[in-house]
């Protein structure tokens, strides 16, 4: 008898599957938004981001939406009532489909995939900025202009504050990172001094 090999899904495989599913739902949502209006993509994306954030910040709501005790029809009906008049037809449709398929846990992933799709379509590129202190509006404007000249695309800044940097910035575009932080320079200087100290000892 031929042996049958059973393939168990790893955590990585599961994550990849979820990412693919999230992108499929995001593509469907974008297509629906564009049918409403060519300019509706950003507005629907903002709605989706706000809804996903609200669910993430409300543990009780998250438990309710994911509870197997609550029937699909009941959950879908309650969500439809809650979103009526507060969300576009496109977002309401997405939430209804996710609820019917017990995939509301994909909400955050769908929001991330949707943002990526809209950015691609609009020629925008996400840029993660980590600063030691909050940036002023003027600093953000100058940084956006400089990055636009460099990247030849419209940068979308995601600014975060990390006091441990001491000063300077860490700029990440995709897999590329430019680190001008004081912390990194101090660490490099310390490494250089240690290396020199070790060489003198030989």
pLDDT in tens, 17-43: 888 999 999 999 999 999 988 889 999
* Dist CA 37 CA 11 (whole Å): 39
What pLDDT does residue 200 have? 52
pTM above 0.85, yes or no: no
* Dist CA 47 CA 84 (whole Å): 13
CATH code: domain 11-119 is: 1.10.520.20
Element of type H or E holding 30: helix 11-36
Strands (E), 25-175: 124-131, 154-161, 169-173
* Dist CA 153 CA 176 (whole Å): 15
Angle, vertex CA 9, rays to CA 6 and CA 11, nearest 5:
155
Rounded (10°) angle between helices 40-57 and 59-66: 100
Query: For residue 46, which of 96, 90, 93, 7 has the smallest C-alpha distance?
Result: 90
Q: What percent of the chain has pLDDT over 90?
A: 34
Angle, vertex CA 106, rays to CA 100 and CA 111, nearest 5:
115
What pLDDT does residue 62 have? 67
Q: How is the chain split into domains, by residue range? A: 11-119, 125-200
């Amino acid at each position: 008898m031929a042996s049958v090999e059973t393939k168990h899904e790893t955590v990585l495989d599961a994550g990849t599957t979820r990412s693919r599913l999230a992108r499929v739902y995001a593509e469907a949502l974008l297509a629906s938004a564009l049918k409403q209006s060519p300019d509706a993509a950003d507005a629907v994306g903002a709605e989706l981001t706000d809804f996903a954030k609200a669910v993430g910040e409300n543990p009780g709501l998250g438990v309710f939406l994911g509870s197997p005790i609550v029937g699909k029809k009941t959950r879908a009906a309650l969500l439809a009532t809650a979103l009526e008049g507060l969300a576009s037809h496109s977002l309401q449709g997405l939430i209804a489909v996710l609820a019917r398929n017990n995939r509301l846990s994909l909400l955050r992933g769908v929001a991330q995939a949707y943002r990526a799709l809209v950015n691609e379509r609009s020629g925008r590129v996400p840029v993660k900025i980590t600063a030691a202190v909050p940036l002023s509006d003027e600093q953000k404007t100058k940084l956006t202009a400089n990055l636009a000249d460099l990247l030849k695309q419209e940068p979308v800044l995601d600014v975060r504050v990390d006091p441990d940097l001491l000063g300077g910035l860490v700029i990440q575009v995709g897999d590329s990172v430019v680190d001008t932080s004081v912390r990194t320079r101090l660490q490099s200087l310390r490494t250089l001094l240690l290396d020199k100290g070790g060489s003198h000892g030989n």
